[in-house]
């Protein structure tokens, strides 16, 4: 596995996963996986479907036990107490169909040790935050898919957990609700909570994550700070949106032209800075200029390709 | 502990507010009330209509020695005819309901030939009794005293007295009354198991199908979930039972005096009540934890219900063995085996309680084994919860179940 940052977070970690493995029947679903999550960071657990993400999360939640390795949540070994300090939105999600929105939230909150009155107050505040308060007495079976997903997200954070694990949180959400959810995730981070986002749609969470752990076929393939990973896998190229006639430039080995824009692939000795200066000298209007970084998807494919 | 209480409350309230539960609770008392209503309606119809009407039955006395005692057989009166043709004519005219011929060789054969016009399954008891009585009276006439004749008609009127070790009449006299109460306990247990386990399996199936299970298991341990559910549903089942019991007492009071009188004859020794309650509770918990394990393994509520039959059948088995075999051999070793084996223990105790004395060691060992069964069942069911509750869709094969349980 490639580790971009050698320094792991220090102090009391929100989550510490050390060398866990899990076998089902003949298949090794999780193979010697280690990573850690610091307080106040958004952490991406990413990989394709069937890579072992959900199995790792279920082991963190103490729903299933690892065959080997250890997991510590907020400095403690797994147990009843740690369950109350984690908020978990499973990928396979559902609600009691016959209960009302407010009853559903209150029941799960009480299972997390929240007194009834506190649970009701917080539930109303949270529902207000996502504009679902008018629906509080509806049965959950009457909600739209997006609405019920928001309710499940409320259930995940009602007990103000320090570690929040969201498995495919944006599936089924429309763009408006996706933005709303991202906003709340940033608020949680600002409040010092750790958030783990698990997804196979890697590009979707790029803008959110501080660090990522990339997994494929049960094994970690990439682990570290997102910015460093991106810079490491950066192609030496720039992206340009312009108006005018673009002449041949020295130092550019190849051009991928599109209407009104182009990608310029640079040679070894040329930096984006040099090209920008030359571009301005040519007199064209530059509307957008950026060092192009490959999306996480491409990085994943590259890493997996290299490993195989 | 608090989480168990929360689950308990949730399960209890969800169950008693289910439509099926409420309908189940009121349907039995309603059936009882309806039965009494129909019975009383039939009674009053019978009282008013048939009271004054006396059925006349004709007969032809070929031997010539059946002349007397023709009246006074309740609502039946016998009328002699000289010839069968006269009797047939009277029958067709509706003067008599039926007639019979006593042939001349009656004394050797006992044969009596009966003629009637209405279609019937068999001769009515009243008619049979009246003719038999008439024949006996005439046969014994002059042979012996009237006192002996009366006694011949009713020669056996038994009073049973059971003696204890000291030779004094025992407090528990046994008999049908003593057999009934433990059986009621037995059936209450089976009904509680059947209804509560139905709800348990239905609830687990729903939680698997609507995917709430993973949220539950990420909040509480499998043991807490299991214990909370079993207690909550058990209490709901108990509430239903108490409701049935109270309403049936009420119905019995409303009902006819004969039924009420029968219940008054039942003697209830304290040990029957005590053992009844102990085995009812232990039996429920034993079956409930195993049902929960089955519910975890089954993919859907429907499949769980099918699996649960495998458990209910051996639970009722001692009842049939009791009726067929143990009634005549109450101290047979089969009774002891059934009493010790946890699956059959509760029903065996209830059946044997009414049949004979159960030795103290059998009860002690059976209770210990039942408690061990509950603890073992809880352990296994918790394992099954862990291993199977997050498997959606297809139910595992038997071999897989054992392998997964072993590893869980």
pLDDT value for A6? 42
pLDDT value for B263? 55
Tell me which chain B residues have a C-beta less than 8 angstroms from the C-beta of A152.
Answer: 215
Q: Is the pLDDT of residue A3 over 70?
A: no
pLDDT value for B391? 60
Average pLDDT (B155-175) is 74
At B60, give phi and psi (nearest 5°).
-115, 120
How sure is the predictor about B321, in pLDDT bands with cuts at 50, 70 and 90?
confident
Residue carrying structure tokens 């239903």:
B240
Tell me which chain A residues have a C-beta less than 8 angstroms from the C-beta of B386.
Answer: 63-64
Across A155-159, A279-283, B228-232, B250-254, least confident range: B250-254
Tell me which chain B residues have a C-beta less than 8 angstroms from the C-beta of A80.
Answer: 3, 220-221
The answer to whether the Cβ–Cβ distance between B215 and A88 falls below 8 Å is: yes
Q: Closest residue of A to B217, CA-based?
A: A63
Residue B16 touches partner A, C-beta closer than 8 Å: no
CA atoms within 13 A on the CB side of A40: 7
Instruction: Choose the most confident range, by mean pLDDT, from A8-12, A120-124, B280-284.
Output: A120-124
Residue carrying structure tokens 């909600």:
A143
Residue B215 touches partner A, C-beta closer than 8 Å: yes
The answer to whether the Cβ–Cβ distance between B6 and A110 falls below 8 Å is: yes
The answer to whether the Cβ–Cβ distance between A88 and B212 falls below 8 Å is: no
Average pLDDT over chain B reads 80
Q: Is the pLDDT of residue B200 over 90?
A: no
3-state helix, strand, coil in chain B (%, to 5): 70, 5, 25
Q: Which helix (H) or strand (E) holds B200?
A: helix B175-209
The answer to whether the Cβ–Cβ distance between A92 and B219 falls below 8 Å is: no
Instruction: Choose the most confident range, by mean pLDDT, from A284-288, B124-128, B364-368.
Output: B364-368
pLDDT value for B266? 54
Q: Is the pLDDT of residue B51 over 60?
A: no
How sure is the predictor about A301, in pLDDT bands with cuts at 50, 70 and 90?
confident
pLDDT value for A256? 84
The answer to whether the Cβ–Cβ distance between B215 and A90 falls below 8 Å is: yes
Question: If contacts are CB pairs under 8 Å, which of residues 190-209 in chain B contact chain A?
Answer: 206
Across A193-197, B215-219, B331-335, least confident range: B331-335
**ipTM of model:** 0.79
Tell me which chain B residues have a C-beta less than 8 angstroms from the C-beta of A58.
Answer: 214, 390
The answer to whether the Cβ–Cβ distance between A64 and B386 falls below 8 Å is: yes
Tell me which chain B residues have a C-beta less than 8 angstroms from the C-beta of A151.
Answer: none
| DSSP state at residue A28 | E
Residue B66 to residue B63: CA distance in whole angstroms: 8
The answer to whether the Cβ–Cβ distance between A112 and B211 falls below 8 Å is: no
At A109, give phi and psi (nearest 5°).
-60, -40
Tell me which chain B residues have a C-beta less than 8 angstroms from the C-beta of A98.
Answer: 14
Q: Closest residue of B to A65, CA-based?
A: B408
CB pairs under 8 A between A and B: 63
pLDDT value for A255? 86
B100 or B253, which is more confident: B100
pLDDT value for B174? 62
Burial call B361-389: b when 16+ CB within 10 Å, e when fewer = ebbeebbebbeebbeebbebbbbbbbbbb
Q: Closest residue of A to B2, CA-based?
A: A113
The answer to whether the Cβ–Cβ distance between B210 and A86 falls below 8 Å is: no
Min Cα separation A62/chain B (Å): 7
- The per-residue pLDDT for range A209-237, each reduced to its tens digit, is 999 999 998 999 889 888 888 888 877 88
Residue B220 touches partner A, C-beta closer than 8 Å: yes
The answer to whether the Cβ–Cβ distance between B211 and A108 falls below 8 Å is: no
CA atoms within 13 A on the CB side of B243: 18
Min Cα separation A72/chain B (Å): 15
pLDDT value for A1? 66
- The per-residue pLDDT for range A30-61, each reduced to its tens digit, is 999 999 999 999 999 998 888 889 889 988 98
Across A39-43, B195-199, B233-237, B372-376, least confident range: B195-199
Residue B219 touches partner A, C-beta closer than 8 Å: yes
In chain B, what's the furthest Cα-to-Cα distance? Answer: 96
Domains of chain B: 2-31+175-407 (no CATH), 55-151 (3.40.190.10)
Tell me which chain A residues have a C-beta less than 8 angstroms from the C-beta of B6.
Answer: 107, 110-111
Min Cα separation B255/chain A (Å): 41
**Cβ atoms of residues B369 and B379 within 8 Å:** no
Residue carrying structure tokens 């085996």:
B337
At B26, give phi and psi (nearest 5°).
-95, -10
Residue A161 to residue B301: CA distance in whole angstroms: 33
B346 or B251, which is more confident: B346
The answer to whether the Cβ–Cβ distance between B215 and A58 falls below 8 Å is: no
Q: Closest residue of A to B17, CA-based?
A: A98
pLDDT value for A237? 85
Tell me which chain B residues have a C-beta less than 8 angstroms from the C-beta of A84.
Answer: 219
Tell me which chain A residues have a C-beta less than 8 angstroms from the C-beta of B3.
Answer: 80, 111, 113
Tell me which chain B residues have a C-beta less than 8 angstroms from the C-beta of A112.
Answer: 219
Report pTM: 0.71
Q: In A, what residues contact B, Cβ < 8 A?
A: 25, 58, 61-64, 80, 83-84, 86, 88, 90, 92-98, 107-108, 110-113, 152, 155
Residue B14 to residue B294: CA distance in whole angstroms: 21
pLDDT value for B1? 60
- The per-residue pLDDT for range B354-399, each reduced to its tens digit, is 777 788 888 899 999 999 999 999 888 888 877 776 665 455 666 6
pLDDT value for A7? 45
Residue carrying structure tokens 């049973």:
B160
């Amino acid at each position: 596995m490639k580790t971009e940052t050698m320094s792991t977070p220090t102090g009391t970690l929100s989550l510490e996963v050390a060398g866990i493995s899990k076998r089902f029947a003949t298949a090794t679903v999780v193979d010697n996986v280690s990573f850690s999550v610091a307080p106040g960071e958004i952490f991406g657990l990413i990989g394709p479907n069937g890579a072992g993400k959900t199995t790792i999360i279920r082991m963190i939640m103490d729903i299933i036990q690892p065959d080997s390795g250890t997991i510590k949540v907020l400095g403690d070994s797994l147990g009843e107490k740690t369950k109350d300090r984690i908020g978990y939105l499973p990928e396979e999600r559902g609600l009691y169909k016959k209960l009302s929105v407010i009853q559903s939230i209150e029941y799960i909150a009480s299972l997390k040790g929240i007194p009834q009155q506190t649970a009701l107050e917080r539930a109303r505040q949270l529902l207000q935050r996502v504009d679902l308060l008018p629906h509080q007495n509806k049965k959950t079976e009457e909600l739209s898919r997006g609405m019920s997903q928001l309710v499940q997200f409320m259930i995940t954070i009602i007990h103000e957990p320090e570690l929040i694990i969201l498995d495919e949180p944006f599936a089924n959400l429309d763009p408006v609700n996706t933005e709303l959810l991202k906003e709340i995730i940033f608020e949680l981070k600002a409040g010092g909570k750790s958030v783990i986002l698990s997804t196979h749609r890697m590009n979707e969470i790029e803008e959110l994550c501080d660090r990522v752990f990339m997994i494929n076929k049960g094994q970690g393939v990439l682990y570290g700070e997102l910015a460093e990973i991106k810079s490491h896998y950066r192609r030496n190229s720039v992206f340009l949106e312009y108006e005018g006639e673009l002449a041949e430039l020295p130092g550019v080995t190849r051009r991928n032209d599109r209407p009104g824009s182009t990608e310029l692939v640079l040679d070894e000795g040329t930096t984006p800075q040099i090209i920008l200066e030359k571009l301005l000298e040519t007199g064209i209007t530059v509307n957008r200029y950026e060092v192009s970084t490959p999306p996480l998807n491409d990085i994943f494919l590259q890493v997996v390709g290299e490993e195989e | 502990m608090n989480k168990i209480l929360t689950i308990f409350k949730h399960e209890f309230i969800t169950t008693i507010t289910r439509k099926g539960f409420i309908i189940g609770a009121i349907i039995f008392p309603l059936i009882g009330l309806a039965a009494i209503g129909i019975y009383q309606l039939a009674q009053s119809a019978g009282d008013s209509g048939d009271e004054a009407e006396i059925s006349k039955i004709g007969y032809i006395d070929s031997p010539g020695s059946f002349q007397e005692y023709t009246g006074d057989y309740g609502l039946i009166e016998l009328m002699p005819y000289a010839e069968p043709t006269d009797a047939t004519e009277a029958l067709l005219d509706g003067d008599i309901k039926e007639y019979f011929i006593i042939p001349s060789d009656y004394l050797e054969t006992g044969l009596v030939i009966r003629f009637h016009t209405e279609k019937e399954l068999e001769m009515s008891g009243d008619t049979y009794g009246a003719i038999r009585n008439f024949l006996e009276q005439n046969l014994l006439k002059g042979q012996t005293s009237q006192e002996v004749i009366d006694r011949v008609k009713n020669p056996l009127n038994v009073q049973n007295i059971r003696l204890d070790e000291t030779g004094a009449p025992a407090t528990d006299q046994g008999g049908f009354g003593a057999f009934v109460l433990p059986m009621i306990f037995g059936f209450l247990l089976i009904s509680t198991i059947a209804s509560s386990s139905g709800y348990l399996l239905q609830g687990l199936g729903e939680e698997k199908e609507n995917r709430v299970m993973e949220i539950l298991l990420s909040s509480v341990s499998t043991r807490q979930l299991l214990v909370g559910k079993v207690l909550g549903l058990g209490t709901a089942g108990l509430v239903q039972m108490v409701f049935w019991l109270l309403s049936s007492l009420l119905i019995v009071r409303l009902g006819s005096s004969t039924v009420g009188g029968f219940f008054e004859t039942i003697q209830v020794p304290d040990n029957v009540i005590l053992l009844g309650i102990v085995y009812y509770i232990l039996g429920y918990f034993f079956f409930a934890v195993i049902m929960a394990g089955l519910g975890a393994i089954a993919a859907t509520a429907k499949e769980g219900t099918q699996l649960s039959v495998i458990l209910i059948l051996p639970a009722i088995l001692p009842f049939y063995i009791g009726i067929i075999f143990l009634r005549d051999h109450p101290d047979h070793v089969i009774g002891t085996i059934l009493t010790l084996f946890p699956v059959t223990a509760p029903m065996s105790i209830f059946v044997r309680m009414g049949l004979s004395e159960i030795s103290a060691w059998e009860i002690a060992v059976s209770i210990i084994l039942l408690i061990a069964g509950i603890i073992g069942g809880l352990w296994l069911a918790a394992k099954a919860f862990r291993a199977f509750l997050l498997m959606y869709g297809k139910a595992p094969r038997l071999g897989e179940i054992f392998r997964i349980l072993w590893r869980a």
